[in-house]
């Protein structure tokens, strides 16, 4: 994949992404992601009015990220309310929020969890000591311990695909086209235009994490409690 095909990386963004991907892993601290003009800042909007809970994202992630049985990096919570015949069912896809103030990065003692300038919260298996602080610190329950590697795994927005100009696996396969992904720093990107035109919500805003996964049509009642969904075994 040539650089010229990365039509999503506009102008300074190319340099920004390149710098981030070659950065020495380490605790970069928080709120150090690219500002507008510095390079891309990735984010996702999930339009719950479109999502029909099909789990294509869950399984696409499983394959792309080689996730073991019993664990998930991407999942769909289902909740049902009301009494017959006034019943509704809501679907809530969840994944790492790639927060702008990620508590998992702050608590990581080894530097295994770090954040790229483009906002992707990364996890380095080689460095992880398996202390599980990050799992405790994450208010969204989207991290798990890999049974073999003993490292704390998580969604990385499929950076290996992003770096080749390809959509993350969950976005690519979404039959509802409920997931919109791109550069929040580019005002012309689909994700920015959607944020500009549509009210959005995020999960547990009171935690101060500043998620960069946004929802359209999120019913906070359906979002609570946020279940631990990364591991069906520990749920």
Partner 1 sequence: MTKDTKITNPAGNKHDEDVGRRVAVKAGLLAAVGIGSGALFHGLTSVARADKAPRSTSGPKTQGQADPDIGELARADVDGYAGRTGEKRVGVPTTCMQCIAACGVIGYREKGRIVKIEGNPHCPNNRGMICAKGQAGVNQVYDPDRLLYPLVRTGKRGEGKWKRLSMKDALDLLAFGGEIAGRKVDGLKTIYESDKPQEFMFHYGRSRIKNAMNHFQKTAFGSGTQGNHTSICETAKWLGNELTMGKHYDVNDAAYSKYILIFGANVLEAHTSHSYIAQRVIEAKAARAKIVTFDVRLSNTAAKSDEWVPVLPGTDLAIILAMTNVLLNETVNGKVLYDEAFITKWSNVTIEELKAHYARYTPEWGESESGVPADTIKRLAIEYGSNKPSSIITYRGFVGHYNGAQAEWASKTLDALAGNFNVKGGITTKLGGKCKDGYNDKAAKDHADLTRKAVKFKISDGDDLHMPTHHSCQWIHEMIAEGSHGRPKIYMTYVYNGAYTTGDCQRNREILCNEEYIPFIVAVDVAMSETAACADLILPDATYLERWAMESAASYAQKKFVQIRQPVVKPLGESMDMQDIFIQLARRIGGGINTLHPYDTAEKYVRTCVELQTADNAKSGKMFYDSNDQPLKSDPWEYFKRYGVLLQGNKPSYNTHAKAVSAEGKTVDAKTGVVWDPHKAHVSDTDVASKGYTGSKNAYKGYVGQQIDGKTYAGFKPDKFNKSGRFEIRSGFMPSAAEKVMADIKDFLTPEEAPWVAEHLKSGLPSWVPVPEHRKRTDKQLVMISFKVNVQIHSRSQNCKWLQEVYHTNPAWLNPATARKMLGKGVKEGDLIRIKSEMPELPWRKGKGSTSVSEITARVHLTEAIHPDAIAVSYHCGHWAYGRYASGNPVEVEGGNTGAEPAGENIWWQEGNKAAKDPTQWSEVAGVHPNWIIPNTPARVSGQFRSNDTIVSIAKA
Residues 36-75 that bind partner 1 (CB under 8 A): 36, 41, 47-50, 52-56, 58-60, 62-66, 68-70
Pick out residues in 103-122 that bind partner 1 (CB under 8 A).
none
Residue 90 within binding range of partner 1, rule CB under 8 A: yes
Specify the residue, 127 or 194, whose C-beta has the smaller distance to partner 1.
194
Could you give the residue ranges of the DSSP H alpha helices within 11-81? 12-21, 56-64
H or E element in which residue 183 lies: strand 179-183
Indicate which single residue of 121, 138, 155, 180 sits in contact with partner 1 (rule: CB under 8 A): 180
Q: What is residue 216's three-state secondary structure?
A: strand
Closest CA to 180 of 67, 51, 60: 51
Determine the size of the site formed for partner 1 (CB under 8 A).
Answer: 89
Query: Whole-number minimum distance, CB 34 to partner 1, in Å?
Result: 9
Smallest separation, CB 222 to partner 1 (Å): 9
Using the minimum distance from each CB to partner 1, give the nearer residue, 24 or 69. 69
136 touches partner 1 by CB under 8 A: no
* Under 8 Å between Cβ of 45 and 180: yes
- What distance, in Å, lies between the first and last C-alpha atoms of the chain? 40
Task: Give the DSSP H or E segment for 87.
Answer: strand 86-94
């Amino acid at each position: 994949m040539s650089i010229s095909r990365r039509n999503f990386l506009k102008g300074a963004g190319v340099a920004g992404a390149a710098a981030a991907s070659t950065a020495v892993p380490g605790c970069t601290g928080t709120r150090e992601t690219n500002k507008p003009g510095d390079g891309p800042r990735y984010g996702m909007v999930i339009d719950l009015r479109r999502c029909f809970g099909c789990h294509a994202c869950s399984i696409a992630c499983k394959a792309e990220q080689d996730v073991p049985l019993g664990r998930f990096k991407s999942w769909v919570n289902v909740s049902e309310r009301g009494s017959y015949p006034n019943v509704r069912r809501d679907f809530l896809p969840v994944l790492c929020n790639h927060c702008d103030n990620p508590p998992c990065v702050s608590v990581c003692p080894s530097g295994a969890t770090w954040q790229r300038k483009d906002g992707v919260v990364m996890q380095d298996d080689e460095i992880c000591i398996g202390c599980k602080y990050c799992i405790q610190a994450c208010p969204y329950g989207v991290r798990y311990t890999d049974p073999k590697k003993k490292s704390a795994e998580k969604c990385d927005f499929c950076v290996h695909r992003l770096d080749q100009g390809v959509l993350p696996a969950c976005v690519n396969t979404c039959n509802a086209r409920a997931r919109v992904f791109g550069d929040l720093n580019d005002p012309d990107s689909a994700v920015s235009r959607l944020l500009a035109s549509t009210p959005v919500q995020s999960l547990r805003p009171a935690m101060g994490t500043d998620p960069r996964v946004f929802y359209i049509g999120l019913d906070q009642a359906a979002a609570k409690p946020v279940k631990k969904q990364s591991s069906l075994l520990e749920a």
